[in-house]
Structure 1
Amino acid sequence: MAFLTHNGRTVCYRLLGDSRKPLMVLGHPLGMTQGAWDDMLPALLGHFRVLTWDLPGHGASSGWPEARGQIAPEDLAQEALALADLADAAQFHFVGTSIGGVIGQQLISRHADRLLSATLTNTGPVIGTPKAWNGRAADVRSQGLAAMAVNIVPRWFGPAACEQQPALIEGWRVIMGRGDDESYALLCELLGRSDFREHLGDCQIPLRLIAGADDVATPPTALEALAQCSGATAPRVLDQVGHVPSVECPDRFSRILIDSLT
């Protein structure tokens, strides 16, 4: 791991692989860490230089400063761009899941000149409702992430993973429970405010969408809505996969990226 000071915060990241290869930046889901990509790295590093990072208050990145108030999608996009600059990459492939996909939409809408391509999974132009996200933010502030993780983490994964890998579920409960409550709550509120339906229509970069057939948080219909407002082709739907294909089917997901981007 390495660390970058960006706008007064410490951002934890990893930059791996051959600097002569094209850069791929990976954005992880809410409540997880950059470790969500670990099982894909051996395959990806044969074709790309790979950069991952922890979102505010996740993993080893510091929490969001109280003085800065709300978090906006542009704040997260600027973190990704600062890290790409650190890697000396004028352009890069971006892959994002869930809130990572929201970061990708912000990059497409405001910084498309920096992108070689975007692959967005398990996300949507609108995710959930403001009421639901604001309610979760309030619950996290009152109960704490460790208590909330008990019910949230199993929803990330499809029935196959929940039945066959109980230790996987428990491990991610521990990881989520160690996050910063306030940063997580602020990111929930960000999702409640985010609406990209009117901002992606002129997308000029290669855009690929991937959904999980068993995803209850962002079902395939959310990716279909994203395809409609961005002009992308219909999403690829992965059978027996929930919200996190990088964890549930890393080999399949890696092969999709390698086949489509090389």
Structure 2
Amino acid sequence: MHKGRTISYRLLGDSAKPLLVLAHPLGMTQGIWDDMLPALLDNFRIITWDLPGHGASSAWPEEAGAIEAQDLAEEALALAEIAGAQTFHFAGTSIGGVIGQQLLSQHPDRLLSATLTNTGPVIGTPDGWLQRSVAVMEQGLEAMAKDIVPRWFGPRACEQQPALIDGWRVQLGRTDKRSYALLCEMLGRCNFTEAFKGKQLPKVNVIAGTDDVATPPSSLEALSSALGAAAPLVWENVGHVPAVECPEKMAELLVKQTA
């Protein structure tokens, strides 16, 4: 329980190893990391968790009002406390990358490294996210999933995994629509363009995919610039979710870059 709400999480691996906290994209679940876990557990203790109203986590309480990026960062810190880790490595994709940016802006001393993929200091527009929020509340996620999910993956992943789209459409349709809508509105408010100036940051890795229509490489270039980090790694034939599309490559990078 965290602030009266159940958070579904997994704490895996040897407590003597450094902790790696993994944050999934909007509309997905902690299951995106499953194919990476065997390789990662040789090097890390790992926490994954489901965002509010996603997977097996409770919906965001009505009395709690809006969701802010700080709320999600506090979830990550609370889970690290459960693991007994004062400092940890972090990796997040899309809204998971937004959580990473919030941690970097407010708690850089808690991070040993951060790997941010398929995200940006600003994602989309406030009006676009507000329209998505309204549409979700009116139509429901089951109806909207047929249009949302195909944007997550590049053509190569869809060819190699024919059931990929259908499986994630089912999962998105099970997500709590109000929690999802509140997260959309949160993304519309987030702007980290100036958030890192004057900060002493840990090592940060930034990754883009050439086939990502939601956060194209230019979005990751803007993030690298805001962070004062190296230019993003741009992976060919990868869409919005490298943990699903190229798990071996993603795991290898985390092992190398956080060593």
Please give the range of the TM-score, normalised by the shorter of the 2 chains: over 0.9
Q: How far apart are residue 200 of structure 1 and its match?
A: 1.5
Runs of 4+ in 1 over 3 A off after TM superposition: none
Q: Any idea what the Cα deviations from partners look like across 1:38-80, whole Å, max 9, x if unmatched?
A: 0000000000001000000000000000111100000000000
Where in structure 2 are the equivalents of 1:1-262 lying within 5 Å?
5-201=1-197, 202-262=199-259
More displaced, 162-171 or 93-102? Answer: 162-171
- CA distance in 2 between counterparts of 1:55 and 1:99 reads 10
**One-letter amino acid of the counterpart of residue 176, structure 1:** L
- CA distance in 2 between counterparts of 1:69 and 1:102 reads 20
Name the SS of the counterpart of 1:10 in structure 2: coil
Name the SS of the counterpart of 1:18 in structure 2: coil
- CA distance in 1 between counterparts of 2:98 and 2:200 reads 15
Q: Any idea what the Cα deviations from partners look like across 1:195-215, whole Å, max 9, x if unmatched?
A: 000101224210000001100
- CA distance in 2 between counterparts of 1:246 and 1:164 reads 15
Q: How far apart are residue 163 of structure 1 and its match?
A: 2.8
Structure 1: runs of 5+ lacking an equivalent: none
Q: Any idea what the Cα deviations from partners look like across 1:182-230, whole Å, max 9, x if unmatched?
A: 0000000000000000101224210000001100000000000001111
- CA distance in 1 between counterparts of 2:62 and 2:170 reads 25
Q: Any idea what the Cα deviations from partners look like across 1:105-157, whole Å, max 9, x if unmatched?
A: 00000011111010000000000000110000000000001111111001000
- CA distance in 2 between counterparts of 1:151 and 1:162 reads 15
- CA distance in 2 between counterparts of 1:233 and 1:206 reads 10
Q: Any idea what the Cα deviations from partners look like across 1:1-28, whole Å, max 9, x if unmatched?
A: xxxx000100000000000000000000
Name the SS of the counterpart of 1:195 in structure 2: coil
Name the SS of the counterpart of 1:118 in structure 2: strand
- CA distance in 1 between counterparts of 2:32 and 2:160 reads 18
- CA distance in 1 between counterparts of 2:109 and 2:161 reads 41
**One-letter amino acid of the counterpart of residue 191, structure 1:** L
Structure 2: runs of 5+ lacking an equivalent: none
**One-letter amino acid of the counterpart of residue 91, structure 1:** T
Q: TM-score, normalised by structure 2?
A: 0.98
Report how many residues are paired: 258
Q: How far apart are residue 166 of structure 1 and its match?
A: 2.4
- CA distance in 1 between counterparts of 2:35 and 2:126 reads 33
- CA distance in 1 between counterparts of 2:7 and 2:191 reads 26
- CA distance in 2 between counterparts of 1:164 and 1:249 reads 11
Give the alignment's Cα RMSD to 1 decimal: 0.7
- CA distance in 2 between counterparts of 1:109 and 1:69 reads 23
**Contact 1:32-1:176 within 8 A present in 2 as well:** yes
Q: TM-score, normalised by structure 1?
A: 0.97
Sequence identity, in percent?
Answer: 66
